[in-house]
Amino acid sequence: MSGSREQILARVRAALADVPSGEHPPDVEVPRDYARSHGRGGADTLVDRLEDYRAIVHRVAADALPDAVAAALQRRGSRSIVVPADLPEAWTATWTDEIGGGADMAAAGAPVLRDDGDGVGLGLGLGALDAVDGVVTGCAVAIAETGTIVLDGGEGQGRRVLTLVPDYHLCVVRADQIVDDVPDAVARLDPRRPLTWISGPSATSDIELDRVEGVHGPRTLEVLIVG
């Protein structure tokens, strides 16, 4: 298709005949005097914004995290969950101890499925992900102003599919991962990684503009803010 490539570029150049030949892209000035932050940062704002999206939010001390994870999964009635291969084992240890050995577990399989690719790097199949009750992950960045959590596939986050197919997403946010606003997040993130920005659970307003939570992604988002 190189013919079309040259044709399109030639047409674009011809269309821009009014642009002086000496003008370079940076010569078109972009005023960057917009705010880096709107001054409403921090965990309190993040909680407020997340709850506005009807996500479930708790704040916990660092040493209470495993118990908070277990409590959330029990409230939810989860029998099995999936976690990224490198999620700290301690996060789900309490829940496993409490649920492990239960009569239903034989049917449910292992309570904690690790997406460790069973040595060949393929990870769990879609069927397995579709069958679990939820997923527990960490995150890369959380934006207070907009109530947004960003996953970048880094530590404790796993493949994109993990937080997409299960119906329930329990996400752990460390206080030091919270930034004030969108410009801070963009500056902190690596565009070469595949990014998923999450602002509340899946939602649609396509039917008479009535907001309905949950169409395809996880229909429930629960967030534990640590520290």
Q: Which residues 174-203 are close enough to bind other proteins by CB under 8 A? A: 182-183, 185-187, 191-203
Tokens linked to 135: 């997923």
Q: What's the Cα-to-Cα distance from 26 to each of 10, 19, 92, 134, 160, rounded to whole Å?
A: 22, 13, 51, 48, 36
As measured in angstroms, the least distance from the Cβ of 136 to other proteins is 18
The residues near 72 (Cβ < 8 Å, ≥ 6 apart) are 56, 58, 170, 222, 224
As measured in angstroms, the least distance from the Cβ of 123 to other proteins is 7
Interaction between residue 49 and other proteins (CB under 8 A): yes
**Which residue, chain included where needed, has tokens 């000496």?**
22
- What mask of x and - would describe binding to other proteins in positions 90 to 119, judged by CB under 8 A? ---------------------------x--
By DSSP bridging, strand 141-143 and strand 178-179 are parallel
Interaction between residue 120 and other proteins (CB under 8 A): no
Cα distance between residue 92 and residue 42, in whole Å: 27
Interaction between residue 164 and other proteins (CB under 8 A): yes
For the chain, report the end-to-end CA distance as a whole number of angstroms.
Answer: 55
Cα distance between residue 61 and residue 3, in whole Å: 62
Task: Output the CA torsion 147→151→155→157 (10° steps).
Answer: 100
As measured in angstroms, the least distance from the Cβ of 100 to other proteins is 30
Q: Which of 21, 38, 94, 177 binds other proteins (CB under 8 A)?
A: 38
Q: Give 71's Cβ-side CA count (13 Å radius).
A: 11
As measured in angstroms, the least distance from the Cβ of 98 to other proteins is 31
Interaction between residue 12 and other proteins (CB under 8 A): yes
Q: Which of 103, 107, 121, 176 binds other proteins (CB under 8 A)?
A: 121
As measured in angstroms, the least distance from the Cβ of 112 to other proteins is 21
As measured in angstroms, the least distance from the Cβ of 55 to other proteins is 10
Interaction between residue 156 and other proteins (CB under 8 A): no
Interaction between residue 29 and other proteins (CB under 8 A): yes
Interaction between residue 56 and other proteins (CB under 8 A): no
